[in-house]
Amino acid sequence: MGPPRGWTLPAAAVATAGVASVVATIILSAAAADVVEERLTVPMTIVAGAASAGAVCLDGSPPAYHLHGGSGAGARSWLLQFEGGGWCNDVRSCAERAGTRRGSTRLMAKAESFSGILSNRPAMNPDFYNWNRVKLRYCDGGSFMGDSAVYINSSSVLYFSGQRIWDAIVADLLRKGLARADKVLLSGCSAGGLATFFHCDGLKQRLGAAATE
């Protein structure tokens, strides 16, 4: 069938290509919407009682994590992922950081989308989709290592309590089933990757004899 009456062949081809482009865009948009809808969103858990033990973020807010429970064969397997985000390296940069989501759980999103090795989709995450998966929120500016406080002035304090944050989170997770784990994977990226090296041996000591890390 030829082009519509009054159209030249190039014009008809352009019109056809335009329609095809619109259809393709609609299909791709629908597919993208499906992906967004399928992505798992996990609420934040604030560690109860952590502040009384001195386990607080740079600004003094309590530490937090996001946990999606395992199931089936993965019910006793755990994946803990340290969030990355660089370091602050002096009082000024840490004071600035304390006023952002990198230094305060008050300023963080209260729910996180789990993707990659935190995904619950077997096709996307075949090795860990049914494990207990935990995202550890990073708010101390020092890879979960510090244990001190710096007074900026008479009314402002910066808390470098990363080690206490880590201890408080592990204690909370042990009560929620980590103590019965038979497999544990500690992971992280950027500053979270450093935290993995710093804390893997200590975590091993706190786990049961049956756990492999």
pLDDT digits 0-9 by tens, 144-154: 999 998 887 77
The pTM assigned to this predicted structure is: 0.80
Residue 27 has pLDDT above 50, yes or no: no
Query: If pLDDT is split at 50, 70 and 90, which confidence band does 208 have?
Result: confident
Separation of alpha carbons 67 and 74, rounded Å: 14
The single-letter code of the amino acid at 183 is K
Query: If pLDDT is split at 50, 70 and 90, which confidence band does 9 have?
Result: very low
Query: If pLDDT is split at 50, 70 and 90, which confidence band does 55 have?
Result: very high
The residue assigned the tokens 């000024």 is 92
The set of residues, in sequence order, having a beta carbon less than 8 Å from that of 85 and lying 6+ positions away, is 102, 138, 190, 191, 192
pLDDT in tens, 92-134: 999 999 999 999 999 999 999 999 999 999 999 999 999 999 9
Q: Are 134 and 81 contacting, i.e. CB atoms less than 8 angstroms apart?
A: yes
Confidence at residue 210, expressed as pLDDT on a 0 to 100 scale: 60
More confident residue, 8 or 183: 183
Of 73-77, 90-94, 188-192, which range is least confident? 90-94
Domain ranges across the chain = 9-38, 40-206
Render 54-112 in DSSP notation, one character per residue.
T---TTSPPPEEEEE---GGGTTEEEEEE-------SHHHHHHHHTSTTT-GGGS-SEE
Q: Are 165 and 46 contacting, i.e. CB atoms less than 8 angstroms apart?
A: no
